[in-house]
Structure 1
Amino acid sequence: MSIKKRAIIMARVSSDEQAKGYSLNIQEDNMRKWCEDRGVEVVKCFREDHSAKNFNRPEWKELKKYARINQKSIDMILVTTWDRFSRNTTDAFNELHYFRNIGILKSIQQPIDFSIPESKELLAIYLTLPEVDNDRRSMKIKEGIRAALKSGRWSRCAPIGYKNSRDENNKPIIVTNEKADGIKLAFTEISQGSSQQFVLKNLKQFGFTVSRNNLSLLLRNPLYVGKVRVPANETEPEEIVEGVHEPIIDYELFIKVQDVLNKGYKDRNRKKENSAKPELPLRGILFCSNCGKKVTGSASRSKTLLLSLQLL
Structure 2
Amino acid sequence: MAPEQAVSILRVSTRKQLDEGDGIENQRRANNDYILRKGYTLTKEVVIAESASLELKERVDLDAALTMIFALRKQKKVDTVVLYKSDRLSRGGGQEYFTIKALLVKHGLRVEYSTEQIDDSASGELLEHVLAGISRFENRQRTDRTIGTEKILTQDGFWCRSAPTGFENARDENNRPILKPTSDTTQWELLCYGLRKQMAGTHTITQVANELRSKGLCTRTYRTRDGQVKRNPMTAQAWTKICRSPLYGGMLRSKWTDGKLIQAKFNGALTPHEWSHLQKVLGLQGKGLVVFPRKKLNPQFPLRRFLRCSHCGSPSTGYPSYNRHGTWYYYYGCRNKACEGFRITAQEGQRAFVAYLKTVTPSKELLELFREIVLEKWDEKYKMLTRESTESHRKIQNLKEQKQALIELMKQNHTNLELVEELRKDFERVSNEYTLATMERDSKETKEVDAEKVINHCIGFLANSYKLWEMCSVEDKYRLQSIIFPDGVTYDGLLGKQALKISLVYAAIQELDALQHCLAAPQGVEPWLTD
Partner of 1:154: 159
Per the TM alignment, residue 201 of structure 1 is displaced from its structure 2 partner at its CA by 4.8
| Amino acid in structure 1 at the alignment position of 2:238 | N
Partner of 2:89: 85
Determine the C-alpha separation between the residues in 2 that align with 1:55 and 1:251. Answer: 41
Q: Does residue 264 of the first structure (1) align with residue 269 of the second (2)?
A: no
Per the TM alignment, residue 42 of structure 1 is displaced from its structure 2 partner at its CA by 2.1
Partner of 1:8: 6
User: Is contact 1:155-1:173 (8 Å) kept?
Assistant: yes
Per the TM alignment, residue 241 of structure 1 is displaced from its structure 2 partner at its CA by 0.7
User: Is contact 2:11-2:48 (8 Å) kept?
Assistant: yes
Per the TM alignment, residue 55 of structure 1 is displaced from its structure 2 partner at its CA by 7.7
1:57-72 mapped onto 2 (5 Å cutoff): 57-70=63-76
User: Is contact 2:12-2:24 (8 Å) kept?
Assistant: no
| Amino acid in structure 2 at the alignment position of 1:227 | M
User: Is contact 2:85-2:114 (8 Å) kept?
Assistant: yes
Q: What percentage of residue pairs aligned between the two structures are identical?
A: 16
Partner of 1:244: 265
Per the TM alignment, residue 119 of structure 1 is displaced from its structure 2 partner at its CA by 2.9
Partner of 1:232: 255
Partner of 2:201: 193
Q: How many residues align?
A: 264
What secondary structure is seen at the aligned counterpart in 2 of 1:70?
A: coil
TM-score of the pair, normalised by structure 2: 0.43
Determine the C-alpha separation between the residues in 2 that align with 1:90 and 1:55. Answer: 20
| Amino acid in structure 1 at the alignment position of 2:86 | W
Determine the C-alpha separation between the residues in 2 that align with 1:49 and 1:251. Answer: 43
Determine the C-alpha separation between the residues in 1 that align with 2:155 and 2:134. Answer: 31
| Amino acid in structure 2 at the alignment position of 1:232 | K
Partner of 1:144: 149
Q: Does residue 46 of the first structure (1) align with residue 55 of the second (2)?
A: no
TM-score of the pair, normalised by structure 1: 0.69
Determine the C-alpha separation between the residues in 2 that align with 1:82 and 1:241. Answer: 44
Partner of 2:33: 33
Q: Does residue 132 of the first structure (1) align with residue 152 of the second (2)?
A: no
| Amino acid in structure 1 at the alignment position of 2:282 | L
What secondary structure is seen at the aligned counterpart in 2 of 1:106?
A: strand
User: Is contact 1:226-1:248 (8 Å) kept?
Assistant: yes
Partner of 2:313: none
Larger Rg: 2
Determine the C-alpha separation between the residues in 2 that align with 1:163 and 1:104. Answer: 44
User: Is contact 1:78-1:107 (8 Å) kept?
Assistant: yes
User: Which residue of the other structure, out of 93, 96, 99, is the alignment partner of 1:94?
Assistant: 99
User: Which residue of the other structure, out of 169, 176, 180, is the alignment partner of 2:174?
Assistant: 169
The unaligned stretches of length 5 or more in structure 1 are: 269-276, 278-299, 303-312
Q: CA RMSD in A?
A: 3.7
Per the TM alignment, residue 103 of structure 1 is displaced from its structure 2 partner at its CA by 4.4
Provide closer, same or farther for how the CA distance between residues 127 and 193 of structure 1 changes in structure 2, counting only shifts above 3 A: same
User: Is contact 1:152-1:243 (8 Å) kept?
Assistant: yes
Determine the C-alpha separation between the residues in 1 that align with 2:35 and 2:191. Answer: 62
User: Is contact 2:48-2:61 (8 Å) kept?
Assistant: no
| Amino acid in structure 1 at the alignment position of 2:279 | Q
Partner of 1:20: 20
Per the TM alignment, residue 266 of structure 1 is displaced from its structure 2 partner at its CA by 6.4
User: Is contact 1:50-1:57 (8 Å) kept?
Assistant: no
Partner of 2:217: 208
Provide closer, same or farther for how the CA distance between residues 83 and 7 of structure 1 changes in structure 2, counting only shifts above 3 A: farther
Per the TM alignment, residue 150 of structure 1 is displaced from its structure 2 partner at its CA by 0.8
Provide closer, same or farther for how the CA distance between residues 27 and 197 of structure 1 changes in structure 2, counting only shifts above 3 A: closer
Determine the C-alpha separation between the residues in 2 that align with 1:85 and 1:66. Answer: 19
Determine the C-alpha separation between the residues in 1 that align with 2:267 and 2:48. Answer: 38
Provide closer, same or farther for how the CA distance between residues 19 and 143 of structure 1 changes in structure 2, counting only shifts above 3 A: farther
User: Residue deviations 1:184-228, cap 9 Å, x none?
Assistant: 433433333322344235536865252111221121221222211
Query: Higher helix proportion, which one?
Result: 2
Q: Say which structure, 1 or 2, has more relative contact order (CA 8 Å, 6+ apart).
A: 1
Determine the C-alpha separation between the residues in 2 that align with 1:228 and 1:67. Answer: 51
User: Is contact 2:31-2:83 (8 Å) kept?
Assistant: yes
Provide closer, same or farther for how the CA distance between residues 138 and 267 of structure 1 changes in structure 2, counting only shifts above 3 A: farther
